[in-house]
Amino acid sequence: MSAKPEEWVTVRVSPGTNRVAVIAAMFDAGVQGLEEAGETLVTHVAGQSFANDVVCAVMAVSVDARVETAPLPNVDWSEQWKAGIHVQSLGALFVSPPWLSDGLDPARTIVIEPGMAFGTGEHATTRGVIRLLQRVMVPGDRVADLGAGSAVLAIAAAKLGASRVAAIELDHDAIGNAEENVVRNEVADRVTVIEGDAAALLPLVAPVRVITANIISSVLIELLPVMGASLAAGGHAILSGILVSERDEMQDVLEDSNWRIVEEDHEDNWWSATITRR
């Protein structure tokens, strides 16, 4: 039986020094979505028992984390959550949920149904990639999107003129949402959603002129060699999912790996970058 509205609980987490692990632990505990309020992570869960499970999961991976829980008022959260989703205006493109897309130019609008897959345009990392993507795309480009999630970045590439886009996603639970979004945006003739590991699949769709990868920094570093081998001459990769505090470390890794930073984007605590081979 689903929880009554008055049983919902707000969980506020100050993650401490291990933010990435805390985010992963919260999703592993069953959290469906997170809001970033500065350094604080906020979510709403059904019932105090669920909230206690989230608290335990957080403390298990970050001993200096601080967690607060508080009951929510009697609200129909199945509808109320929509108030937190907005149309995002990002240069030449918009990202919108279906219920706000009326009146927007379909050619310039990416309509995303929020689901379990990451990527509604509400997160700074998604917005950073879309801003940078518009500065490197050339009509007819072949593109690979690694860790595609909702396929928002793959759809953005298609709307910007890509001829073929491979949206590669490892999480089986995200595939259905990605495929639905591709059809909803009428780009199924150019975007193919592929389930599997990016390191294994990227060489199979290479060469590509543009790669987008909005993934945590440790995974990005692991993928740098295969990205370099899969880019066409003069191609670009756009990296995101990197905290501003990780920028200097990532810059050193890129330089040591024979990459050059072409352009950067900062929003809130997040850093995105366009890179190319030296």
> Does pLDDT of 168 surpass 90?
yes
Q: Residues 190, 210: one domain?
A: yes
Q: Residues 227, 95: one domain?
A: yes
Q: Which tokens go with 149?
A: 């999630």
Angle CA 110–132–269, to nearest 5: 95
Contacts of 183 (CB under 8 A, 6+ apart): none
CA atoms of 77 and 226, how far apart (whole Å): 43
CATH number at residue 27: 3.30.70.120
CA atoms of 251 and 109, how far apart (whole Å): 33
Angle CA 267–273–274, to nearest 5: 140
Report the predicted TM-score, pTM, of the whole model to 2 decimal places: 0.73
Q: Give the pLDDT confidence of 213-240 residue by residue, as tens digits.
A: 999 999 999 999 999 999 999 999 999 9
CATH number at residue 109: 3.40.50.150
Q: Residues 209, 140: one domain?
A: yes
Q: Give the pLDDT confidence of 37-93 residue by residue, as tens digits.
A: 888 999 999 899 999 999 999 999 998 999 999 998 766 555 666 677 889 999 999
State what percent of residues in the chain have pLDDT above 90. 82
Q: Residues 53, 109: one domain?
A: no
CA atoms of 268 and 42, how far apart (whole Å): 16
> In whole angstroms, how far apart are CA 212 and each of 86, 108, 161, 240?
23, 19, 15, 8
Contacts of 62 (CB under 8 A, 6+ apart): 15, 16, 17, 18, 19, 21, 22, 25
pLDDT value of position 163: 98
Q: Give the pLDDT confidence of 250-261 residue by residue, as tens digits.
A: 999 999 999 999
pLDDT value of position 3: 42
Residue where one domain finishes, among candidates 45, 80, 115: 80
pLDDT value of position 80: 61
Q: Residues 162, 94: one domain?
A: yes
Q: Give the pLDDT confidence of 173-214 residue by residue, as tens digits.
A: 899 999 999 999 999 999 999 999 999 999 999 999 999 999
CA atoms of 275 and 278, how far apart (whole Å): 9
Q: Which tokens go with 49?
A: 């028992």
Q: Residues 256, 235: one domain?
A: yes
Q: Residues 154, 126: one domain?
A: yes
3-state secondary structure the chain: CCCCHHHEEEEEEECCCCHHHHHHHHHHCCCCCCEEECCEEEEEEECHHHHHHHHHHHHHHCCCCEEEEEECCCCCHHHHHHHHCCCEEECCEEEECHHHCCCCCHHHEEECCCCCCCCCCCCHHHHHHHHHHCCCCCCCCEEEEECCCCCHHHHHHHHCCCCEEEEEECCHHHHHHHHHHHHHCCCCCCEEEEECCHHHHHHHHCCEEEEEEECCHHHHHHHHHHHHHHEEEEEEEEEEEEEHHHHHHHHHHHHHCCEEEEEEEEECCEEEEEEEEC
pLDDT value of position 5: 47
Query: What is the mean pLDDT of the segment spanning 259-277?
Result: 97
Q: Residues 118, 239: one domain?
A: yes
pLDDT value of position 30: 93
Contact 149, 169 (CB under 8 A): yes
Q: Residues 90, 76: one domain?
A: no
Q: Residues 66, 98: one domain?
A: no
pLDDT value of position 75: 61
CA atoms of 150 and 167, how far apart (whole Å): 9
Residue where one domain finishes, among candidates 80, 101, 129: 80
pLDDT value of position 116: 58
Residue where one domain finishes, among candidates 80, 98, 121: 80
- Provide the domain limits for residue 44: 5-80
Q: Give the pLDDT confidence of 88-134 residue by residue, as tens digits.
A: 999 999 999 999 999 999 999 999 987 656 777 889 999 999 999 99
Q: Residues 114, 58: one domain?
A: no
Q: Residues 16, 131: one domain?
A: no
The total number of structural domains in the chain stands at: 2
pLDDT value of position 37: 84
Q: How many CB atoms lie within 10 A of CB 158?
A: 25
